[in-house]
Amino acid sequence: MSYQVNENGYYGDFGGAYIPEMLYPNVEELRLAYLNIMNEPSFKQEFDQLLKDYVGRPSPLYYAMRLSEKYNTKVYLKREDLNHTGAHKVNNTIGQILVAKKLGKNRIIAETGAGQHGVATATVCALMGIECIVYMGEIDIKRQAPNVARMKMLGAEVRPAKSGSKTLKDATNEAIRDWINNPVDTHYIIGSAIGPHPYPDMVTRFQSIISEEIKWQLREKEGRENPDYVIACIGGGSNAAGTYYHFLDESTVGIIAVEAAGKGVNSGESAATSQLGKEGIIHGCKTLLMQTADGQITEPYSISAGLDYPGVGPLHSHLYKTGRAEFFSVTDDDAMAAGLELSQLEGIIPAIESSHALAIFNDKKFQPDDIVVISLSGRGDKDLNTYIDYFKL
């Protein structure tokens, strides 16, 4: 079984490039160039340097002692929350801005839901002095005011997506339309492991630094490279893809994906795509997505703005369908409790997305000598208002 994308852009049955002809030249240009660019020594050197000096990598692999004691297993946290801009998102935007420069693009567009990817994109555009336009659903703009302000301060233009449900999926549609209208000078930085081929593979490769580091860090700490489990939350799936990447072919490593159940998988207010979705086409790829019987894409719900995407990346659909990854869904309440628990056991306030992964201990028991690595994909600063409202702090 292969978990790498094939030459047609598929992971098993999922992926491809279901795009209108107007996008074909843009996507084809990227498809033909991305691997060559990523393999150029000058690219690698600049990418590595920026990850080190600007992002602050390697991010620590932290042995969470009190959490480990409580659940009677060995828990390591991969601290993506300590990256510049506060989440894993910047690994990908650094990579893509360098690709955009190599392609000679002078205008960047991006979509954002909670604003984390928008901020990470605005950040690298400021760094490189490139024009940046971020599409964000009109409703999300209201819900995520601090991130909107950050993007503006970084010099980006935030354009409201007013179509459809006015959230992340519509922001993505708007970004795609912008790219159709600006086919020559613009690069579209997609923030998750979704979209037409080669995006899922490119984003996964940029995020794969997470599992690359886990390997050598674990060798240092435990004398072995492979943990027993790697665990990550999944919205579109970029932090998960990066956390799993170097373990996909290691059969002794259990891969666990945690989706947002919202108010409950069957409550009608959920984002648990693997449980509620069917094969279909969203934003240019064939994957599992939440939709009506009629094939209209539905609006998901999660208390975490970074997980309420109606699809998952094609790699994850493949991992689900083949059984390579075990999928769990965690409710708002369980995620919030896990976020509070980590704050008080370890002194780390996690992003609510990451809190979903931390809630795994409710659903799965691990052995005392198991090594369990959880991706702490982001920090909780951006979610403080949600935590305040929820816990009446």
Partner 1 sequence: MNRINQKLAEDKKLLSIYFTAGYPSLLDTKTIIQDLEKSGVDMIEIGLPFSDPLADGPTIQESSTAALKNGMTTNILFEQLADIRASVNIPLIIMGYFNPMMQYGVDAFCAKCKEIGIDGLIIPDLPVAEYHEHYQATFEKYGLINVFLITPQTSDERIQFIDSVSNGFIYMVSSASVTGSTSGFGNTQETYFNRIANMNLKSPQIVGFGISDNETFTQATKTGKGAIIGSAFIKHLTNNGVETIGDFIKSIR
Catalytic residues: 89, 111, 377
Region near partner 1 per CB under 8 A, out of 81-89, 165-173, 238-246, 325-333: 165-173
Alpha-carbon gap, residue 311 to 194, rounded angstroms: 8
Among 6, 295, 344, 381, binds partner 1 (CB under 8 A): 295
- Comparing CA positions, the residue from 141, 148, 95 lying closest to residue 119 is 148
Q: Which residues contact 240 (CB under 8 A, 6 or more apart)?
A: 193, 232, 233, 234, 257, 316, 375
> Is 367 in a helix, a strand, or coil?
coil
Looking only at residues 180 through 209 of this chain, which bind partner 1 when binding is defined by CB under 8 A?
A: 180-184
Minimum CB separation of residue 233 from partner 1 in Å reads 24
Looking only at residues 315 through 374 of this chain, which bind partner 1 when binding is defined by CB under 8 A?
A: none
**With binding defined as CB under 8 A, does residue 177 bind partner 1?**
yes
Contact by Cβ (8 Å): 346, 64: yes
CB atoms within 10 A of CB 289: 26
Contact by Cβ (8 Å): 372, 76: yes
Contact by Cβ (8 Å): 130, 97: yes
Phi/psi at 279 (5° precision): -60, 135
Token pair of 134, please?
């971020």
Paired sense of beta strands 10-11 and 14-15, if any: antiparallel
Token pair of 171, please?
């922001």
Region near partner 1 per CB under 8 A, out of 51-59, 106-114, 125-133, 290-298: 290-298
**With binding defined as CB under 8 A, does residue 293 bind partner 1?**
yes
Q: CA separation (Å) from 333 to 58, 263, 319? A: 32, 8, 27
Looking only at residues 260 through 289 of this chain, which bind partner 1 when binding is defined by CB under 8 A?
A: 278-284
Minimum CB separation of residue 288 from partner 1 in Å reads 12
**With binding defined as CB under 8 A, does residue 169 bind partner 1?**
yes
Minimum CB separation of residue 18 from partner 1 in Å reads 5
**With binding defined as CB under 8 A, does residue 103 bind partner 1?**
no
Contact by Cβ (8 Å): 182, 107: yes
CB atoms within 10 A of CB 292: 9
- Contacts with partner 1 by CB under 8 A: the residue count is 35
Minimum CB separation of residue 297 from partner 1 in Å reads 5
**With binding defined as CB under 8 A, does residue 18 bind partner 1?**
yes
Alpha-carbon gap, residue 138 to 170, rounded angstroms: 9
Minimum CB separation of residue 12 from partner 1 in Å reads 15
| Residue whose CB is less far from partner 1, 294 or 369 | 294
Alpha-carbon gap, residue 374 to 328, rounded angstroms: 14
Alpha-carbon gap, residue 290 to 383, rounded angstroms: 25
Among 20, 69, 224, 389, binds partner 1 (CB under 8 A): 20
Phi/psi at 108 (5° precision): -115, 135
Minimum CB separation of residue 321 from partner 1 in Å reads 16
| Residue whose CB is less far from partner 1, 309 or 361 | 309
**With binding defined as CB under 8 A, does residue 140 bind partner 1?**
no
Token pair of 97, please?
């801005």
| Residue whose CB is less far from partner 1, 117 or 169 | 169
Looking only at residues 23 through 52 of this chain, which bind partner 1 when binding is defined by CB under 8 A?
A: 24-25
User: Going residue by residue from 61 to 90, which x/- string records binding to partner 1, judged by CB under 8 A?
Assistant: ------------------------------
Among 106, 163, 322, 362, binds partner 1 (CB under 8 A): 163
Minimum CB separation of residue 263 from partner 1 in Å reads 22
Binding positions for partner 1, rule: CB under 8 A: 16-22, 24-25, 163-164, 169-170, 173, 176-177, 180-184, 278-284, 291, 293-298
